[in-house]
Amino acid sequence: MDNLWIASLPPEDQKRLTPHLNERPIEPGEILYDAGDAVEEVWFPHDGAISLMTILDEDKMVETAAIGREGLVGVTCGPLNARAASRAIAQIQGVASCCPAGVFADALAQSEPMRHALATFTEGLMAQVQQTAACNAQHPLDERLARWLLTISDRVETHRVVLTQSDIAQMLGVRRATVSEVGSELVDRGLIRRGRGWIEIVDRPRLEQSACGCYRMMRGVLADLGVPQVRRR
């Protein structure tokens, strides 16, 4: 199973879900559900990345978490039949398997290992949301940008991602011109390359040194929790 959360489950629990999974492409900019929606499906990414966005005044929004194939999307907003508190939007193109929320709820009710796996993932996600909020409030943009690029690279398991400067500005809640300026500094330092609609990490060790401590802290938290993490290439 390409989704690491499902792959971590005992075989009998995987069998509770797999007959009900419907594989779908996820396209950049696709909204899986919006704030206030009743969440009817649970999404298990195989690749790509999905961002959870907090909606602010005047149609502005900022990313509070990114989820790749290590996790799931759709039950992390509260109880299964609650309305979503955030917007889930596909950030990087990929494929995901979808399961009706009711089926997933029934499977949870029957399986203690599945409930434990969900609680562990949700605890890690909450830590990510809290750390991101603190990072956005306190750290300079060059460190935040480095942290964000490393996190997205981890989710999609590649150093090169298809993203525009406008995409990145939206995720970080800043102006496009500001991202362009700070990105140019990282290019001049030989840490990244970029072109029209793409960006590539070329010196990961130095980019990690340039990122704020939030990146390393979150890697450590997830490892301590035992949350499945993608391989770094």
- pLDDT, one tens digit per residue, over 160-185 is 999 988 999 988 888 999 999 999 99
- Alpha carbon distance 189, 184 (integer Å): 9
- Alpha carbon distance 184, 168 (integer Å): 14
pLDDT band of residue 232 (cuts 50, 70, 90) is low
**Mean pLDDT, range 71-83, rounded to an integer:** 70
What's the whole-number average pLDDT of the chain? 90
The whole-model pTM stands at 0.90
Residue 162: HSE in the Cβ half-sphere, 13 Å Cα cutoff: 10
Predicted confidence (pLDDT) at residue 233 exceeds the cutoff of 90: no
pLDDT band of residue 118 (cuts 50, 70, 90) is very high
Predicted confidence (pLDDT) at residue 40 exceeds the cutoff of 80: yes
- Alpha carbon distance 164, 178 (integer Å): 13
Predicted confidence (pLDDT) at residue 76 exceeds the cutoff of 70: no
Buried/exposed code over 79-91 (b: 16+ C-beta within 10 A; e: otherwise): ebeeebebbbbbb
Nearest residue to 64 (alpha-carbon basis) of 85, 78, 48:
85
- Do 84 and 17 meet the contact criterion of CB atoms below 8 Å apart? no
**Mean pLDDT, range 16-44, rounded to an integer:** 93
pLDDT band of residue 56 (cuts 50, 70, 90) is confident
Alpha-carbon distances, residue 157 vs 1, 94, 129 (angstroms): 16, 12, 21
What local confidence, expressed as pLDDT, does residue 79 receive? 47
228 or 154, higher pLDDT: 154
Please give the helix or strand (H or E) that residue 84 lies within, else none: none
What local confidence, expressed as pLDDT, does residue 75 receive? 81
**Mean pLDDT, range 116-143, rounded to an integer:** 92
